[in-house]
């Protein structure tokens, strides 16, 4: 199976689009090989502003139709209370909303960007995709994350080297209730670090403190801006600490 053959079998398809590396390449392939495609982006409390901006930019560059759906995921107690299977409940809500919109628009199948590198045993959200019969062509075609980055670069997609970015809710420990205020604090803190030149990092919340997870190569940048970072993060957190177990 390759993507050209996949889209010959599914020429009309809806794409669950996040603006990340995988769904960006999937949308590119759908536009290249399919007959009709529409991308659906779900705007919720869990997505930072830049993800929506990237999604809009990428869709425009591909001349792909993009529909933005708004969903209040925190209205579901199974999401707001942040249990160990939160991702399952969140994914089910998001993909159910996309499926409903796609069905109304006349699309018989919904696709997502799960790739062959993704470990199903470590991604509870995949259970929701299976239950809803969402298809994952990148995974079906054996495309790994590394291969997708290479193909994206060849295709001229600006997302080819975009760092992986999990939703804002992953910054809170399991069992700690999620609130809009906590999510806003994470987004503001990470936006500030982005503005200083940091890449591929996380600001995690622990008992009211911010725990920074950085690549070791960026520690000198942290020292350079230490005072400014402390001042900014203390607008939202009681303390800021560095995780000595560096990001891989």
Q: If we measure between CA atoms, which residue out of 161, 171, 186 comes closest to residue 49? A: 186
Buried b (16+ CB within 10 A) or exposed e, 181-209: ebbebbbebbebbeeeebeebbbbbeeee
Sheet holding 209-213, edge to edge: 202-206, 209-213, 240-242
pLDDT digit string, tens, across residues 193-208: 999 999 989 999 988 9
Hey, CA dihedral for 191, 230, 180, 78, is it positive or negative? positive
Mean pLDDT is lowest, of 12-21, 142-151, 160-169, for 160-169
Q: What percent of the chain has pLDDT over 90?
A: 90
Average pLDDT over residues 20-47: 97
pLDDT digit string, tens, across residues 154-172: 999 999 999 888 899 999 9
Q: If we measure between CA atoms, which residue out of 90, 53, 46 comes closest to residue 187? A: 46
Mean pLDDT over each residue of the chain, to the nearest integer: 94
Give the span between the Cα atoms of 28 and 60, in whole angstroms: 11
Q: Read off the tokens for 161.
A: 């080297």
Q: Read off the tokens for 210.
A: 């911010």
Residue 152 predicted with pLDDT over 80: yes
The residues near 85 (Cβ < 8 Å, ≥ 6 apart) are 78, 124
Give the span between the Cα atoms of 71 and 197, in whole angstroms: 31
The residues near 59 (Cβ < 8 Å, ≥ 6 apart) are 17, 27, 39, 65, 66
Prediction pTM value: 0.92
Give the span between the Cα atoms of 145 and 162, in whole angstroms: 11
Burial of 46 (0-12, 13-18, 19+ CB in 10 A): buried
DSSP 160: G
Residue 50 predicted with pLDDT over 70: yes
> Tokens 């006349």, residue?
106
Identify whether the C-beta of residue 82 lies closer than 8 Å to the C-beta of residue 174.
Answer: yes
């Amino acid at each position: 199976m390759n993507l050209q053959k996949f889209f010959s079998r599914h020429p009309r398809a809806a794409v669950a689009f996040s603006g990340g590396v995988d769904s960006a390449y999937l949308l590119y392939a759908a536009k290249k090989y399919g007959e009709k495609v529409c991308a659906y982006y779900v705007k919720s409390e869990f997505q930072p502003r830049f993800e929506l901006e990237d999604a809009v930019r990428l869709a425009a560059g591909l001349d792909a139709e993009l529909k933005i759906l708004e969903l209040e995921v925190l209205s579901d107690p199974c999401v707001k209370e942040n249990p160990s299977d939160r991702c399952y409940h969140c994914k089910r809500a998001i993909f159910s909303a996309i499926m409903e919109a796609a069905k109304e628009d006349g699309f018989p199948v919904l696709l997502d960007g799960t790739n062959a590198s993704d470990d199903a045993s470590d991604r509870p959200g995949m259970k929701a995709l299976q239950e809803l019969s969402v298809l994952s062509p990148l995974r079906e075609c054996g495309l790994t994350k590394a291969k997708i980055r290479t193909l994206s670069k060849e295709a001229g997609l600006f997302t080819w080297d975009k760092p992986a970015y999990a939703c804002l809710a992953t910054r809170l420990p399991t069992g700690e209730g999620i609130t809009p205020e906590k999510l806003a604090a994470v987004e503001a803190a990470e936006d500030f670090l982005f503005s200083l030149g940091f890449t591929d990092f996380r600001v995690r919340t622990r008992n009211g403190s911010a725990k920074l997870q950085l690549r070791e190569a960026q520690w000198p940048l942290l020292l350079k801006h230490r005072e400014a970072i402390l001042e900014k993060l203390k607008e939202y957190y009681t303390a800021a600490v560095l995780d000595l177990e560096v990001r891989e």
